Amino acid sequence: MEIKIQLAEKDIPRKWYNLAADLPNPVQPPLGPDGKPISPDMLTAVFPMNLIEQEVSTKRWIDIPQEVLDILYRWRPSPLRRAVYLEKHLKTPAKIFYKDESLSPPGSHKPNTAVPQAWYNKQFGTTRLTTETGAGQWGSALAFACRLIGIECKVFMVRISFDQKPFRKIMMKTWGANCVASPSNETSSGRAILAKTPDTPGSLGIAISEAVEQAVTDPGGRTKYCLGSVLNHVLLHQSIIGLEAKKQLESVGIKNPDVVIGCAGGGSNFAGIAFPFTAEKIHGAKIDIIPVEPKACPSMTRGEFLYDHGDTAKMTPLMAMYTLGHAYVPAPIHAGGLRYHGMAPLVCQAIVEGLQKPLAIDQIECYEAAMTWAATEGFICAPETSHAIAAVIREAKKATEEGKEKNILFCYSGHGLMDMLGYDAYLEGKLERYEMPDEDIKRSLAELNGLPKPKAVKTGKW
């Protein structure tokens, strides 16, 4: 078996996969301020109608436009690789496969959705996109997509990442975007937060509020907002990861892996690798599917399945999801892309249904895993991706103990070349271990008391 399992360009998937079509129970609808399900046209101030249609669609397969594919070909299909050097180091009988999403121009999986989002917006007549970014992976991906497609791009970058990752800003500028630290003075929600807490490290929730505000307050309506994760249509676009991986595994005789792993902040790279296999699980395959989150921001493992806002300023509809509460500001871990209080509703629904089983790992174990990765596979991974690798190492060790020749698949969501400061902190012994006290979670969830509750779901046996 070759270490790199390639897929020819002509074999690239031509349709995205939508898990909403296969979930045993329907996803609970987003709710408006009145507690009633929102209708698609209530989202038009923020998103173009063609993407709203994808957001609410329950069609199983949705065509990928040829012009989108023409852009994705710059780095797709991405290779599926065998981590043979890590396997040897761990002396595991498991085979470890990773889908390498680090090869895109911005270095992560994010352009898989940035490109179609920019393209559908352009089709719709949008001339300017606003967005938030954590580690800068999403912001640079959208800057990249907007540059190639030809629309303006404005990025609100969480302040701690803005300060820790200076090169990301220049990258966005190189692709022509305008990037500012969030909270900023450019929006009323930003100004309000700065007035109360001028030293805040910021959060994805705050940055979302700022970006949404700029879209909804544009009198011409030609500014729209773009989200890098969480929403159904974003997860839809990422399904290309798992669909390609499935074809690649099949090409070496593996129908389904035994374990599928991805790190999860908003849930999009995880959903991308996991949903096509979640469908297999629904239809009878035996697969352990594991989203991995940081202990500093444990929405899936210590949060509750509730209706909550996607952002801090409560501008978004209520979504049924595992959440720590929209007011929660996570500790400043280096994996900025995993600092989000909630989780994609589709991922949460799959967890509620018992199809996926989340895991939380602290950043020190993750950096240890990243160092092992660099010393064996040779590559330097993103701090977010290190969470997936830490879980893979746990699973590979379990396979050794059990003496089982498992096939483990994970999403290598991005490289860490723009995120070297976390490695420096680790090497200098300055990395902090963050664990959120129970009282903090209780306090932040208490703010959701008056909100509607999701309906109970009868879970299946998988």
The binding site for a second copy (CB under 8 A) comprises: 2-4, 6, 8-10, 71, 73-74, 85, 103, 105, 107, 144, 147-148, 166-167, 170-171, 173-176, 371, 374-375, 377-380, 417-418, 420-421, 423-424, 427
Q: Least separation, in Å, of the C-beta of 63 and a second copy?
A: 21
Q: With helix as H, strand as E and coil as C, how does 275-344 read?
A: HHHHHHHHCCCCCEEEEEEECCCCHHHHCEEEEEECCCCCCCCEEEEEECCCCCCCCCCCCHHHCCCCCC
Nearer to a second copy, 417 or 451 (CB): 417
How is residue 89 written in tokens?
Answer: 């180091």
Q: How far is the CB of 246 from a second copy (least distance, A)?
A: 20
CB of 2 to a second copy, least distance (A): 4
User: Cα angle vertex 147, ends 141, 149, to 5°?
Assistant: 100
In the complex, the smallest distance separating the C-beta of residue 83 from a second copy, rounded to whole angstroms, is 10
Strands 128-133 and 152-158: parallel
For 429, other C-beta atoms within 10 Å of its C-beta total 6
Placement of tokens 């505000």 in the chain = 213
Closer residue to a second copy in complex, CB, 188/251: 251
Q: Cβ closer to a second copy: 87 or 210?
A: 87
Q: How far is the CB of 141 from a second copy (least distance, A)?
A: 11
- Shortest distance, position 424 Cβ to a second copy, whole Å: 5
Please give the helix or strand (H or E) that residue 32 lies within, else none: none
Residue type, 392: V
Edge-to-edge order in the sheet of strand 359-361: 4-5, 80-82, 95-100, 407-412, 259-263, 288-294, 359-361
Residue 435's nearest CA partner among 248, 247, 296 is 296
- Number of residues written out for the chain: 462
Exposed e or buried b for every residue in 36-66, given b needs 16+ CB within 10 A?
eebeeeebeebbbeebbebbbeeeeebebee
Q: How far is the CB of 137 from a second copy (least distance, A)?
A: 12
